[in-house]
Structure 1
């Protein structure tokens, strides 16, 4: 039994630090909420959205504020619904670009020519193969690596800003002339360019999977040798026009 005047002690532990942390968290939450409320009010005051400033404008009664809140909430719900519907249509329906006009239907347009060209214009594997062929003919005293290094000069065939070395090009020309009997630049670039089978993995046309080698042809274009489809020109090389001058 407890006698009168006997001090009463609690057996529960009292952690002062826990109470202090709780009070600090409440103050932080209250401070963050006030900051959020402050910047939300500033946004509504200076926003160009219709009716947004009416939510915080002085002199407005609460009924009018509630009406504007309901209007904004309803608009947001409809906006989210429209965006979801558009996104669903985008995922299920492919995007089509049609050039059809009221004056000329797209059904009468000719299918355009398509050319797929690689960024890597010279295949390292093909360069090593040709370098081995030239090296095995013993037409040059250069090593295999030195012959392969000369192939960098072929970059001048594509890039006009390429720093070419006239002496190295002359060595290339003499070496290939001795090895193959002639130096055909077009045929050499055709051999060095990556083939269609190396760059095309899967082809679909008119909704069906097709053999890429039957759809695309490896032909010369203005960007070098590329994989072409529906290429109308009969010859890859344009005929050379020789003009004669008649002196009177």
Structure 2
């Protein structure tokens, strides 16, 4: 059985370099690193602290956590109860005028938590200079050289 400590002792290392084709020859290398967790627990907890005082004090942090987890249904509709998620959106998100896209970006895992070291063109680089949080087909991911034609933004 694999444990978290096993993973931390021997993290996954990925390289784009091969013997057959140098990455420098790739005309547009795009890389996306996505967490299987679409929401960051620490970001969700910080958001709960931020909004708690604005609403009924009877709502416990645990209940808020259950409700906010419903947002994961946007990426996997089978993972949540549809009616409950729609009710949460209508009664909370829409009433409070939350922009769902911005909220999901805020609650997504940070690239600094997913990527520990970066090397580009043979030199160590700050990962935050190479990767940005971008919306992809898999939710918000850490992307390098990623272009979405419909967004008009290259990152």
The two structures have a TM-score, normalised by structure 1, of 0.48
Partners in 2 of 1:133 and 1:170 — Cα distance? Answer: 21
Q: What per-residue deviation string (whole Å, max 9, x for no partner) do you get for residues 148-207 of structure 1?
A: 1112211211113223241353134422344xx413221111111111111111100111
For residues 1-248 of structure 1, the aligned pairs below 5 Å read 96-99=18-21, 107=25, 109-138=26-55, 141-178=58-95, 181-233=96-148, 236=151
Structure 2 counterpart SS, 1:115:
strand
Shift of residue 128 of structure 1? 1.1
Please, which runs of 5 or more residues in structure 2 have no aligned partner? 1-16
Equivalent pair of 2:93/2:100 in contact (CA under 8 Å): no
Q: How many residues are treated as equivalent by the alignment?
A: 136
Shift of residue 234 of structure 1? 6.0
Structure whose residues are more often strand by fraction: 2
> Are residues 136 and 212 of structure 1, via their aligned partners in 2, closer, same or farther at CA, if it must alter by over 3 Å?
same
Partners in 1 of 2:126 and 2:150 — Cα distance? Answer: 24
Equivalent pair of 2:30/2:146 in contact (CA under 8 Å): yes
Structure 2 counterpart SS, 1:161:
helix
Equivalent pair of 2:75/2:139 in contact (CA under 8 Å): yes
- What is the CA RMSD across the aligned residues, in angstroms? 2.7
Structure whose residues are more often helix by fraction: 1
Please, which runs of 5 or more residues in structure 1 have no aligned partner? 1-94, 101-105, 238-248
Shift of residue 138 of structure 1? 2.0
Equivalent pair of 1:176/1:183 in contact (CA under 8 Å): yes
Partners in 2 of 1:219 and 1:210 — Cα distance? Answer: 20
